[in-house]
Amino acid sequence: MTRRQDQGGTATWTTEVLVIGGGFAGLEVGRALGRAGIPTMIVDRRNHHLFQPLLYQVATAALSAADVAEPVRKILRRYRSVQVILGEVEQIDATLCRARLGGGEVISYRHLVLAPGSGHSYFGHDDWAAHAPGLKTIEDARSIRSRLLVAFERAERCTDPEEKRRLLTFAIIGAGPTGVELAGSISELGRLTLAREFRTIDPASIRIMLIEAGPRILSGFPEEMADYARDRLARRGIEIRTKTPVEHIGPEQIRMAGQSIDVGLIIWAAGVRPSPLAAQVAETDRGGRAVVDARLLVPGFSNVFVLGDAAACPDAEGNPLPGLAQVAQQQGRHLGRALVAHIRDNRPLPEFRYRSRGNTAIIGRHAAVFDHHRFKLRGWIAWLAWALIHVYLLVGFQNRVLVSTQWLWRYLTEDRGARVIDGEVAEKAALQKGPSSDA
Amino acid sequence: MTRRQDQGGTATWTTEVLVIGGGFAGLEVGRALGRAGIPTMIVDRRNHHLFQPLLYQVATAALSAADVAEPVRKILRRYRSVQVILGEVEQIDATLCRARLGGGEVISYRHLVLAPGSGHSYFGHDDWAAHAPGLKTIEDARSIRSRLLVAFERAERCTDPEEKRRLLTFAIIGAGPTGVELAGSISELGRLTLAREFRTIDPASIRIMLIEAGPRILSGFPEEMADYARDRLARRGIEIRTKTPVEHIGPEQIRMAGQSIDVGLIIWAAGVRPSPLAAQVAETDRGGRAVVDARLLVPGFSNVFVLGDAAACPDAEGNPLPGLAQVAQQQGRHLGRALVAHIRDNRPLPEFRYRSRGNTAIIGRHAAVFDHHRFKLRGWIAWLAWALIHVYLLVGFQNRVLVSTQWLWRYLTEDRGARVIDGEVAEKAALQKGPSSDA
């Protein structure tokens, strides 16, 4: 176990390994170290590990927050040598091997594993954040869900046709997997679920725009799969605008290609920015990711590792690996094992090799793409494979049962369960106050 | 259907029946009118009907918010004559038969059914609300859950024994069914679930106080059942203080019987206050409830009804009925049928007769009390009856399946699923900022 001391009112802990972040990477490191009984502290700003690949389903009212979140300390509870701390690391002094928490406590470590993940990047337009929420946390998902459902509620109540049209126009910026999944899921929510329940909304009047600055959607996938996805999305009535950088985002308005469009909701799925903690211990690349070698080690140190979204780790060709959940998970597993052998038997640290298990993007009911080298699936079978894989990857047996039950239920009924509009948003909408007032 | 018009920019709707509130009472009225095809508008400030009897399970991380909430418009979607509006009624002019929404829209009705429910009453100490949240809405439940879990997280991190003791002291004010259920559920959360996951918390140091101004707990139940509950709670280590009115509530401090106690969390389960809308149409009793006759009619009107928590409706002996979900539900069913016959065939309005289906209070695993006239249960069998009845009463088949699955899972594993700490609370705790800073 870790030791604690009180020195002049400030608590100081000492631990063999300090892991910062309880995401896919940090959790795997913690597991490996815990299994070996090595004293470890895991610090995270949230009490829960988040299964981010399904977060868009929380944002579109298909799943509950608790279905995709599991407490970090519950996942690691069997490992007595691992202590989980809800806290925010404010400063790292890698030379002195110390990290300081927001409350002033100091953690003194022998090895540091930095896996803090990433937030949104608005490419220098931080003022856009207020009008175009991104999707990284439970609160992001709840906020998008509330705004989405409130747009429909307001439209139902609205008697001005122009305002009604605006309320039912949704803009998603960024056509990577998250953007595509959000567009598909919102379209189904509107067409299948909500259309049955509203009296004054014509489902055909719901307008969904998927906006991408690059030349095509799903740039990480082969072109033929992106074409398939594009075709499927278009059949569902989703407008795709590629080569269209967004010029301005205001409250309920978006400008692109010189044209302003009034919208009911804007969602940001375009850019991520690694946690600024990475820059405290390492050189960063253009995207803000810490440059590490293939052992995940920060050059110049023998005990500081960065992995996951915050790391620019080279692949076999020397190109940095993408910020994917499976990259983070494999890095965590690799480093966990490597550290155990290193700490116990002083073994050298091996290099990390990424093995892609395939990429998926879900378009909607019965439609998805799955890409794994020569093995490419699309349509029904990719959709089923996606569902099975994601349920399997969920942490916690209860979550698997609950998510499966809900998916099966939704599939059979074309319904959604988790349609709670949160308090503050509901109150504003009820009073019709705020920028989109009808009055 | 309801008709809409635009008059000088302000929308005006006309409807046969306006129902205010989508709780147990309003929903039943809406169903009956919808079945008969009578044009009806239901206005609620929230988009969801809330199954309040299980809200304490959301507050103690046993269920998710979506499990106990179902969109009002989904419940009523098959009734084409019913239109649901997310909105806040600000003013009622019962003489002119008009109600005005917060956005300025006017609804002109022939019959008004007022079922707005109730909020908390802090008995003139509204400043207590910030320190002692009550439990009426989804947000209340989420806020209590976050504060509860954060108290444990902070205690784990805390190195000062006195502060640690404070963080693990929980005060529940009011020992009716909600207070008893919260106390039992928090005790189980601490003893069974969390104790396994924390490294520096001794489960025996968790202190739960159930504070009641009246002479005994569960005043609505027979004395022998209250005694049984008291005994069971005491065995679980819960301190019960009856005849103890709270004198002051501050941030993380409570004073009673001249003694101040530092606490980690205070929950208010003591008093309710009917919605102020009731006073706009009727005389109110001392508790703020609208005085109605046994037909639920406001004296002086032939078309204004108040029911549910906001109504003081006399029973056969002339005493006002208690504010219970089953009273509201039965009143809603009664009035719905009565209104259909009245509107269609001009039948006179019959009087409402309440038939108690029994009261339950759950103390914890394998322990509950159930009271139904001569039929009194306690222990295992009452607990099982409670679980079956509550699952049956949940609106929506999916919710029943999910809640049953989760209960069964929790029962077998002694675990809880929905342990998400919400963003703002987590961030504060991570930084150890706010009033309970360790620094």
Q: Is B212 a catalytic residue?
A: no
Nearest to A131 by CA among A363, A433, A435, A373: A435
How does residue A432 score in pLDDT terms, banded at 50, 70 and 90? low
Q: Which of residues 146-205 of A touch B (CB under 8 A)?
A: 149-150, 153-154, 156-157, 159, 196-199
**Tell me: the pLDDT tens digits for B162-188?**
999 999 999 999 999 999 999 999 998
E strand intervals along B232-287: 238-241, 246-250, 253-256, 259-262, 265-268, 272-274
> Which chain B residue is nearest to residue A151, measuring alpha carbons?
B86
Domain boundaries along the sequence of chain A:
3-120+272-345, 126-270+420-431
Residue predicted with more confidence, B389 or B81: B81
Nearest to B265 by CA among B122, B133, B430: B133
* B402–A405 C-beta distance less than 8 A: yes
Dihedral-angle region of residue B43 (phi above 0 means left; psi in -120 to 50 means alpha; beta otherwise): beta
CB B342 within 8 A of CB B35: no
Q: Kindly list the catalytic residues of A.
A: 181
Q: What's the whole-number mean pLDDT along residues A4-8?
A: 53
B112: β partners: B18, B304
- Looking at the predicted structure, is the pLDDT value of residue A410 above 80? no
Q: Which segment of A96-100, A164-168, B7-11, B140-144 scores lowest on mean pLDDT? A: B7-11
- Segment B120-126 long-range contacts (CB within 8 Å, at least 24 positions apart): B120/B268, B120/B271, B120/B272, B120/B273, B121/B270, B121/B271, B121/B272, B121/B273, B121/B288, B122/B268, B122/B271, B123/B270, B123/B271, B125/B249
CATH 3.50.50.100 fits A126-270+420-431, yes or no: yes
* B420–A47 C-beta distance less than 8 A: yes
The pLDDT value given to residue A9: 56
The pLDDT value given to residue B364: 79
The pLDDT value given to residue B34: 97
Would you say the pTM of this structure is higher than 0.90?
no
Pairing of strands B118-120, B272-274: antiparallel
**Tell me: the pLDDT tens digits for B340-354?**
999 999 999 999 999
The pLDDT value given to residue B356: 85
Q: What amino acid occupies position A234?
A: A
Catalytic residue among B181, B188, B212, B252: B181
Nearest to B16 by CA among A56, B24, B32: B32
Q: What's the whole-number mean pLDDT along residues B241-268?
A: 95
* A6–B159 C-beta distance less than 8 A: yes
CATH architecture classification, B3-45+87-120+272-345? 3-Layer(bba) Sandwich (3.50)
How does residue B54 score in pLDDT terms, banded at 50, 70 and 90? confident
Q: What are phi and psi of A82, to 5 degrees?
A: -105, 125
Q: Which segment of A64-68, B23-27, B129-133, B333-337 scores lowest on mean pLDDT? A: A64-68
- B433: which chain A residues are within 8 Å (Cβ-Cβ)? 102
CA distance A403 to A400: 5
CA distance A40 to B121: 47
Pairing of strands B10-20, B3-7: antiparallel
- A84: which chain B residues are within 8 Å (Cβ-Cβ)? 156, 197
Torsion of CA B84, B87, B92, B97, to 10 degrees: -30
- Looking at the predicted structure, is the pLDDT value of residue B1 above 60? no
Q: What amino acid occupies position B208?
A: I
Torsion of CA A25, A31, A33, A35, to 10 degrees: -160
- Matching fold, domains B3-45+87-120+272-345 and B126-270+359-431: yes
Q: What's the whole-number mean pLDDT along residues B87-94?
A: 95
- Looking at the predicted structure, is the pLDDT value of residue A36 above 60? yes
Q: Which of A55, A157, A277 to mutate to test the interface with B (most CBs of B within 10 A)?
A: A157
Q: What percent of chain B has pLDDT over 90?
A: 65
> Which chain B residue is nearest to residue A107, measuring alpha carbons?
B157
How does residue A438 score in pLDDT terms, banded at 50, 70 and 90? very low
**Tell me: the pLDDT tens digits for A392-404?**
777 666 677 777 7
* B430–A45 C-beta distance less than 8 A: yes
What are the angstrom distances between the C-alpha of B129 and each of B166, B251, B257?
A: 20, 10, 21
Give the ipTM of the model, two decimals please.
0.85
Q: What are phi and psi of B13, to 5 degrees?
A: -110, 150
Q: Which of residues 304-363 of B touch A (CB under 8 A)?
A: none
- Looking at the predicted structure, is the pLDDT value of residue A436 above 70? no
**Tell me: the pLDDT tens digits for A334-388?**
999 999 999 999 999 999 999 988 888 888 877 888 888 777 888 888 888 777 7
CA distance B383 to B388: 9
Q: What's the whole-number mean pLDDT along residues B323-327?
A: 91
Torsion of CA B223, B228, B230, B234, to 10 degrees: 160
- Looking at the predicted structure, is the pLDDT value of residue B439 above 60? no
Q: How many Cβ atoms from other residues are within 10 Å of residue B9's Cβ?
A: 10
CATH topology of domain B126-270+359-431: FAD/NAD(P)-binding domain (3.50.50)
Distance from CA of A248 to the nearest CA of B (A): 28
**Token digits for B67?**
């499990």
Distance from CA of A296 to the nearest CA of B (A): 27
> Which chain A residue is nearest to residue B80, measuring alpha carbons?
A199
The pLDDT value given to residue A400: 74
CA distance A306 to A117: 10
CATH architecture classification, A3-120+272-345? 3-Layer(bba) Sandwich (3.50)
